[in-house]
Amino acid sequence: MFTQHSLAWSSLWQHPELLGMAALVVLLAFYVRAVIGFGSGLISVALLALIFPVKEVVPVVLLLDLVGSVLLGAYDFHEIRWPELRWLVPGSLLGLAAGAFILADTDAQSLTRFLGLFILAYVVYALVLKPEKLPRLSLPWGLPLGIFGGVIGSLYGGGGPPIVAYLQMRHLDKRAFRATFQGIALADNIVRLFLYIGLSLLTLPLAISFVFLVPPVLLGLWAGNRLHFRIPQRAFLLSTLALLTIVGIQYLI
């Protein structure tokens, strides 16, 4: 186990090796984000929390994810499937609010295990049917799956898996998938930003650290975007399932 240090800018300034390690993690995370459209929060939080306190990591990663959502969303703006967001965004906002109440009164660990089982069951289902042959969900399914994603986002800082499942079963092509996911991620990021500010989880020293980590975000997005346009659609679908498998296993353990 690594010795944990503060993620505040003063600590990074005094320990440049920590800044270098954090930058490499962020670069990898946003490379993956640009390739398949999601996963930067999962990778960043999981690895940075080995070095820094998780209560500091989550707010900083939120700001980095906000940058990723804005840049990828702007780059792919014309590829966004707006009808999907008409159901997903309201559901996600409802879920974010509900998750806060659930967190206050429920054993979060048992909910984590349930989520892990749900994700792994979906991955098995998708692999058995083949991802490109999954049944097509109707648009209104975006509301309950958006709520589910919002609850998970409120509890664990990222509600991607249920929304990824929904978008896969809407059979969007890889760029439309990535673009539309940025829309829901942006709404989630903005709501959580205000929550973190209101709860004093996001402080000025952490905000300054975020600024130090923006360059590796930009480099990761640039490099990952180049691969996104080269990866075949089936490889893209299998890559999303592979990352979901990692997420599911992480939640179980």
- Per residue in 186-235, pLDDT (tens digit) is 888 888 788 778 877 788 888 888 899 999 999 999 988 888 878 887 78
Secondary structure class of 151 (helix, strand, coil): helix
Q: How many helices (H) and strands (E) does the chain have?
A: 11, 0
CA neighbor of 48 nearest in space, from 70, 67, 63, 68: 63
- Which runs of E-coded beta strand occur in the chain? none
- Of the chain, the end-to-end C-alpha distance in Å amounts to 16
8-state DSSP, 229: T
Instruction: Note if the pTM is more than 0.85.
Output: no
pLDDT single digits (tens) 143-190: 988 888 887 766 665 567 788 788 888 888 888 888 888 888 888 888
Instruction: Report the pLDDT value the prediction gives residue 155, as an integer from 0 to 100.
Output: 63
CA neighbor of 79 nearest in space, from 204, 229, 201: 229
